[in-house]
Amino acid sequence: MELFIDTADITEIKRLNSLGIIDGVTTNPSLVLKAGKNFKEVVRDICQIVDGPVSAEVVATDYDGMIREGQELVKIHKNVVVKVPMTPDGIRAIKYFSSHGIKTNCTLVFSANQALLCAKAGATYVSPFIGRLDDIGQTGMDLIDEIRTVYDNYDFQTQILAASIRHPDHVKQCAISGADVATCPPAIIDQLFKHALTDSGLQKFLDDWKKIPEELRRIV
């Protein structure tokens, strides 16, 4: 499963990308607002850091506007993926983009029916928001399972990009369920490294190492 960062914070992207485990980045207007910089500049900077797909979202809600904005976004960098909302005009725009070789990410998906439409339109990625489903008393992970089944039934090539990740267990369950990608805030990626037994085990090794006479513990 690929791991994307869900942020527009350049500092955090640089930090996590240096670990060598990041495959791409997703952004949205809310994340760019937090960054406090020019939208195109932020997208361009991200593309220069991470050598992978970078989702940049259109803000137009009509078909013609989405097409105009999408065509401008892909001029920023070859790795830009046009992020389009799950609406009738959005699906129509995805069909246009896919027929012209432009990669897309259909966002704000909350049902298998919506995911089916995304795949039929030729979306590169579909973004089911599992955390937001949990927020309203549903089980977001059930949606990942449903989409995986539907896509496998018909050999759709659209990749499942699990979004609205709220905790490390979401990441684990996405990997178990066969999501192609999980996009996570930096804080969640940091938590993937953590386990109490790792910390205590490392501390014990270090404590024992100090007990070895210095002349016997030279490494270099």
Sign, CA dihedral 152-156-161-165, equals: negative
Average pLDDT taken over every residue of the chain: 96
| Homologous superfamily of domain range 2-194 | Aldolase class I (3.20.20.70)
CA distance 105 to 82: 6
pLDDT in tens, 79-130: 999 999 999 999 999 999 999 999 999 999 999 999 999 999 999 999 999 9
Give the residue numbers marked as catalytic: 83
Rounded to two decimals, the pTM is: 0.95
- Summarize pLDDT for 125-173 with one digit per residue, the tens: 999 999 999 999 999 999 999 999 999 999 999 999 999 999 999 999 9
- Domain ranges for the chain: 2-194
Cα gap 126→105, rounded to integer Å: 6
> Would you place residue 186 in the very low, low, confident or very high pLDDT band (cuts 50, 70, 90)?
very high
